[in-house]
Structure 1
Amino acid sequence: MSEQLPDVQASSPDVTVGLSQVGVTGVEKLVKLARPDKRPIVLMAEFEVFVDLPSWRKGADMSRNMEVIDETLEAATRDEAYRPEDVCGDAAERLLEKHDYTTRAEVRMEAELMTREQTPVSDRETQSTVDIIAAATATEEGTREEIGARVVGMTVCPCSQGMSAARARNVLDDLGVDDETTEAFLDQVPQPGHSQRGHATLTVESEGAPEVDLEDIIEVARDAMSARIYNLAKRPDEDHMTYHSHANAKFVEDCVRSMAEDVAAKFQDLPDDAVVTMKQSNDESIHQHNAHAERVVEMATLRAELDAEH
């Protein structure tokens, strides 16, 4: 008769300190998202799975975590889930149920989504890449789910553009151009400014599933920057992107504030306790560092701040 193997993870630790997150990262799974009257979208998703650990327990049951996430994601792939945040919520609730020592379970997911769109002038079909972000946290009080996206765009620095405009005024003045004509010209022809590739991140978290559409989140994030960019671009499209980005120059802070304004206008049905995370990071073209700004805020606070402006 074989001797039963000891459950070392259930023993007491040498240092009795609780841990807020114990789990696994880098779990790759196929997730199939159903669409009405269309073929499903298949994503290669990467998951992070965590539970909290009480001070009296040495370790979490990693094999059980993997078993639960496997069961959940296999079911989601087989049954075609409609929303990635629901996949995370289902997994988090299963984790909470199967670990009797756990009071909090978290599941996070990221996946690359390919979208089709038309170029702005030549009207050619092209594909763009968007990073989907989904998450869920389950406790005895309920489950909060999060959905969002990280998108790429273009920004132009208003500061360097202002210096270029000042130089243009001086040159036009030396050429004898009157002030009214100079201002009319500068109004029609935006001056150069250093541009950079921008990365906008927008997520919404609420009790249960957020009442937002992922496509709307992507649109708000893309529109927060100076201009959208496209993988395929004919010369008229390149001219369109260059002109519109310089006509809409934005600091990294402006991008986050633009997101905030559009979130309040677009997602009016979100509850006051929904949490919105807005981030903008720019790959600076004339510096070795990057610029970053962000805001994490409840909808009630965001609405109050925006209402105070009017």
Structure 2
Amino acid sequence: MSKQLPDVQASEPDVSVGLSQVGVTDVEKLVKLAREDKRPIVLMAEFEVFVDLPQGRKGIDMSRNMEVIDETLEDAVAEPVFRVEEMCGDVAERLLEKHDYTTTATVEMEAELMLNEETPASGRKTQGTADIIASATAREDAPTREEIGARVVGMTVCPCSQRMMEGHARAELRDLGVGEEEVREFLQEVPQAGHSQRGHATLTVEATGDPNVDLGDVIDLARDSMSARIYNMAKRPDEDHMTYAAHANAKFVEDCVRSMADGVVETFDHLPDDAIVTMKQSNDESIHQHNAHAERVAEFGALREEVNGQ
């Protein structure tokens, strides 16, 4: 006769306080990202899975959480998925079904995506990376909301320091007897030095259903919001190209977020008004010990009105 083990998790806690998120983190799984007419991309993905916990229950069924994760993600490995955020939604909905004491389940996923690309000047084959960000939240009383996005690295140049260097250059050229018209033309053609930063751009879109957001478009928008793209492998012509491009497109950290906003409104004009757009930019400063950060979280309808000046 088997011994009945006590269900400690279902007992009353010492302090009756509900918890918004309880679960597991750092769960690694292989996920296949499907592509039209191409072999799927295999991702080493890291998951975080949470449910809410009512005040009268001591703990969650941790083994049940892992069972649901394993079941759903093993299915995803066997059958490639086109939308990783939809897979997160499937896991969240299963969690909600299996835990009769919860009202909300959240699944978050991150994975590194390898990008095949060419260097901008020499045309050499190289590889870059972008971090895929996906999540979903399932609730008892509302449709499941899914989020897809990316975090990428680029280069920015400070417009303020560049403007000061332009002032120095203008003064030196005048002292050398160069005419004002020639000075103006020179500074238009040759961007002056400014202190540069490595930038980290994050862009995600959250909505119900399938908002038809292409991950490749998200990555491109985030990369192009900064002063210039960067590449892992670069010959001297590529280094010259990136340096010139960045200094010809100097941007504050705030400008990068606004560039993302403009790109989202133009590229994803089909999004529903209640879609949530998250845009973040963090710059690793080169001449300061601190770093710079800016972000905006907004419903798409409100963001569109701002960008279009309505």
Q: What TM-score results when the alignment is normalised by the length of structure 2?
A: 0.98
The AA in structure 2 aligned to 1:33 is L
Give the residue type in structure 1 aligned to 2:208.
E
Q: In structure 1, the residue corresponding to 2:308 is in which secondary structure?
A: helix
Name 2:264's counterpart in structure 1.
263
Q: Is residue 232 of structure 2 the alignment partner of residue 231 of structure 1?
A: yes
CA separation in 2, counterparts of 1:3 and 1:128?
Answer: 55
- How far does the alpha carbon of each residue in 1:13-50 deviate from its partner, in whole angstroms, 9 at most, with x for none? 11111110000000000001121211110000000000
How many correspondences in the alignment? 309
Deviates more, 1:82-91 or 1:102-111: 82-91
Return the letter of the residue paired with 1:9.
Q
Superposition deviation, residue 287 in structure 1: 0.9
Unaligned stretches of 5+ residues in structure 1: none
1:28 maps to 28
Deviating more after overlay: 119-128 vs 261-270: 119-128
Task: Within 5 Å, give how 1:174-189 maps onto structure 2.
Answer: 174-189=175-190
Residue matched to 1:286: 287
Q: CA contact under 8 A between 1:65 and 1:95: conserved in structure 2?
A: yes
Deviation at 1:124, TM superposition (A): 1.1
> Distance in 1 between the 2:202 and 2:76 partners?
26
1:137 is aligned to 137
Deviation string 1:255-289 (CA, Å, 9 cap, x unpaired) is: 00000001000001000000000000011011111
Counterpart AA for 2:194: G
Q: CA RMSD in A?
A: 0.8
SS in 2 for 1:294: strand
Query: For 1:52 and 1:211, how far apart are their aligned partners in 2?
Result: 29
Amino acid across the alignment from 1:64: R
- Whole-angstrom CA distance in 2 between matches of 1:155 and 1:292: 13
Letter in 1 for 2:228: A
**TM-score, normalised relative to structure 1:** 0.98
Matches within 5 A, 1:64-75: 64-75=64-75
CA distance, structure 1, for counterparts of residue 175 and residue 33 of structure 2: 62
- Give the residue type in structure 2 aligned to 1:78: A
After TM superposition, the structure 1 = structure 2 runs for residues 53-202 of structure 1, keeping only pairs within 5 Å, are: 53-140=53-140, 141-202=142-203
Kindly provide the amino acid, as one letter, of the partner of residue 287 in structure 2.
I
How far apart are 1:306 and its partner, in Å?
Answer: 1.5
Aligned pairs (5 A) from 1:293-308: 293-308=294-309
CA displacement at 1:81 relative to structure 2: 1.2
SS in 2 for 1:143: strand
Task: Say whether the 8 Å CA contact 1:145–1:210 is kept in structure 2.
Answer: no
Please identify runs of 4+ aligned residues in structure 1 that moved more than 4 A.
Answer: none
- In 2, Cα distance between equivalents of 1:223 and 1:265: 14
Give the distance between the partners of 2:290 and 2:16, measured in 1 at CA: 42
CA deviation profile, 1:39-65 (whole Å, cap 9, x unmatched): 110000000000000111110111100
Percent identical residues: 74
2:202 matches 1:205: no
**SS of structure 2 residue aligned to 1:60:** coil
Could you list the per-position Cα deviations for residues 49-88 of structure 1 after superposition, in whole angstroms to 9, with x for gaps in the alignment? 0000011111011110011001110010011111111110
Q: Which amino acid aligns with 1:99?
A: H
